[in-house]
Amino acid sequence: MVKIVGIGGSLRPNSYSYQALKIAVQRVEALGAEVEILDLREMKLPLCDGGDDYPDYPDVAQLQATVKAADGLILATPEYHGSVSGVLKNALDLMSFDELSGKVTGLISVLGGQSNSNALNDLRTIMRWVHAWVIPEQIAVGQAWQAFSEDGKIVDEKLSQRFDKFAESLVENTSKLSQVV
């Protein structure tokens, strides 16, 4: 069984990014993977200063250990000013090749406006830089304020199908690559 860690890059209480992450997690779990969500809203993480020692922040060690023990990742971010949220970028900056190299990664962005790929492209570059493997299936949820029902489900059937394909690709590719390593 593959182990996936989901990280949402929003600090908002009713974040659309977390709604999208939870949908992806449900789909991945339905395929037999074990999933843990690291909720950055509940973690006390410092701003990365380029160092590698944060003794006053035990959540940094938890973040690093949890990601290192995983086979794959789901990263979900709101798109702020055409890029990745600062909180997700900071969390990634608090890790190194030790935690991120070789991780199969699925990417999700959530936008208030029309769907585009800016944050996804930036995340793809970041993850490639640390030698992670990003699956080709990615999800950009445009006009997020109307994409989810009140109970947190995806309204559009085509978008729901994209979440299915995303989950299938993430689990399949993580399983393949984790057997090789």
The DSSP secondary-structure symbol of 61 reads: H
Topology of domain 3-180, per CATH? Rossmann fold (3.40.50)
pLDDT above 80 for 71:
yes
What is 55-88 written as a DSSP string? Answer: TT-HHHHHHHHHHHH-SEEEEEEE-BTTB--HHH
Instruction: Tell me: pLDDT of 181 over 60.
Output: no
- Is the pLDDT confidence value at 159 over 80? yes
Percent over 90 (pLDDT), the chain: 82
> What is the C-alpha to C-alpha distance for residues 88 and 91, in angstroms, rounded to an integer?
5
Say which amino acid occupies 153.
Answer: K
Share of the chain above pLDDT 70, in %: 99
Q: Which pair of tokens denotes residue 165?
A: 């394909």
pLDDT at 148 over 70: yes
pLDDT digit string, tens, across residues 4-61: 999 999 999 989 999 999 999 999 999 999 999 999 999 999 999 998 889 999 999 9
Per the document, the length of the chain is 181
Collapsing DSSP to helix, strand or coil, 80 comes out as: strand
pLDDT of 137 reads 97
Count CA atoms closer than 13 A to 3's CA, side-chain side: 8
Structure tokens at 169: 């690709």
Per-domain boundaries in the chain = 3-180
Q: Which residues contact 107 (CB under 8 A, 6 or more apart)?
A: 74, 75, 76, 120, 123, 124, 127, 134, 138, 139
Question: How does residue 180 score in pLDDT terms, banded at 50, 70 and 90?
Answer: low
